[in-house]
Copies of this chain bind each other. A is one copy, B any other.
C-alpha cells in the first residue's frame, strides 16, 4: 500500500511538459529522473523503467511525446527494455503504463509508413510485429495500466497484455479504429481483438472503427476492469499479486501453451514471411514449439511436480472430507 502511494507521488511528480522530462533523462541507458522516493529507475529516453525488485515487478512507462506513438526508435527501446527485464531473473511481472496520463498510446506512427524506402517499411513492420509477439509471448506477467486513450496500435499493445485495467475517464476510449482513418487493420490486430471480445463484437468493432469508452469497453470485454483514475496503478499491483501467486507464473514456464497459445501454426502460416523468418532463425529458436511440447507431458511430470502429488491428493482429500489415504485406497480397491 505504501508502495502504491509512493507510486502515485512519483506519478504526480512526472506531470510536467514532455520536453523538460526528456531533457532530464537524455542518455539511452542512464538512470531516469523523477524518482524522489529512493526507487532506482532505469530505461531509455522513451521508456522509463521503475523496478521493484522486492516484489519482482517493474513498471514500464512509455514516454514518447506527445502521444506515445510507435516510432521505430520507441519500439526499439521498448523491446530492449522488455528483453532486459526478461533476462533478469529478479523480475516476474511488468506493469505497462504511460508516463503521461491522458494518452496510453496512439499506436503506429504513420510518418514511418509514408515516403520512405521499402527497406524502411520492412524494418518498421518487423518492429511492430516484434512488439506484438514479444509482449504476447513474454514469460513475464504483463498487466496494462491504461491511463489514457488507446486507439489502434495502442489498443493492440494493451491486448498483448495478460490483463487490462482502464481508468474510468470517459475520454479514455480504446479500440481498433483503423477504418475511420481509411486504413484496414492487419489481420493479427483483428485476431487479438477476436480473442479478447469474441468474433462478432470484433467484426463490428473493426468494421466501424469503434472506440469504446470505459463502461462500454468493460461490457464488451476489451478491458478486464475499470477503476477510478487514481487507482489504476494500485489496482494493477493488486492484480499482479494475484497472478504471481500462481506457481506456474514464473519466468520460463508462464504462458507455455497456456491461454496464450493463440499463435497456432496455422495462424503463423498466414503471416508474411518477414514475420516468421526472424523467429525461425537458428539463433532465435521459435519459442512456441517448445511450449506446446511442454503443455503435453507425454513422459510423465517433472520430478518437482511428482513431489506435489501427495500434497495435491491430500488437498483433495481435505476438500471433500475423506479420512482415508487415497493412494492406498485405490490400490486396495
Query: Which A residues contact B (CB, under 8 angstroms)?
Result: 18, 22, 45-46, 64-67, 69, 71, 102-103, 106, 109-111, 113-116, 118, 121-122, 125, 148-149, 151, 162-163, 178-187, 190, 194-200, 202-209, 221, 224, 242-243, 246-249, 253, 255-262, 264-266, 269-270, 272, 274, 292, 294-301, 304-306, 308-309, 312-313, 316-317, 319-322, 324, 326-327, 329-330, 333
Contacts of A162 in B (CB 8 A): 207
Contact A333 B46 (CB under 8 A): yes
Contact A182 B326 (CB under 8 A): no
**Can you identify 7 A-B contacts, CB atoms within 8 angstroms?**
A65-B324, A110-B306, A113-B309, A183-B305, A190-B258, A206-B259, A209-B246
Q: Tell me the bound Cα distance from A15 to B127 in angstroms.
A: 60
Instruction: Given A258-B184, A308-B182, decide whether A67 and B102 contact each other with a Cβ distance below 8 A.
Output: no
Contacts of A106 in B (CB 8 A): 316
User: A241: shortest Cβ distance to chain B, in Å?
Assistant: 12
Contact B221 A200 (CB under 8 A): yes
Q: Tell me the bound Cα distance from A64 to B18 in angstroms.
A: 66
Q: Tell me the bound Cα distance from A252 to B224 in angstroms.
A: 36
Contacts of A326 in B (CB 8 A): 66-67, 69
Contacts of A299 in B (CB 8 A): 118, 121
Contact B300 A121 (CB under 8 A): yes
Residue of B114, B246, B327 touching A111 (CB-CB under 8 A): B327
Contacts of A248 in B (CB 8 A): 178-179, 182-184, 209
Contact A122 B257 (CB under 8 A): no
Other than the given A67-B320, A180-B246, A198-B198, 14 more pairs (CB < 8 A) read A18-B329, A18-B333, A65-B322, A65-B330, A65-B333, A66-B320, A66-B324, A110-B301, A110-B309, A148-B320, A180-B247, A184-B257, A207-B249, A207-B258
Q: Tell me the bound Cα distance from A48 to B228 in angstroms.
A: 54
Instruction: Given A162-B207, A181-B308, A258-B206, decide whether A265 and B269 contact each other with a Cβ distance below 8 A.
Output: yes
Q: Tell me the bound Cα distance from A199 to B191 in angstroms.
A: 11
User: A329: shortest Cβ distance to chain B, in Å?
Assistant: 6
Contacts of A202 in B (CB 8 A): 259
User: A304: shortest Cβ distance to chain B, in Å?
Assistant: 7
Contact A102 B320 (CB under 8 A): yes
Residue of B109, B269, B304, B333 touching A182 (CB-CB under 8 A): B304
Residue of B163, B196, B253 touching A184 (CB-CB under 8 A): B253
Contact B298 A187 (CB under 8 A): no
Q: Tell me the bound Cα distance from A314 to B51 in angstroms.
A: 35
Instruction: Given A199-B196, A265-B270, A320-B102, decide whether A204 and B224 contact each other with a Cβ distance below 8 A.
Output: yes
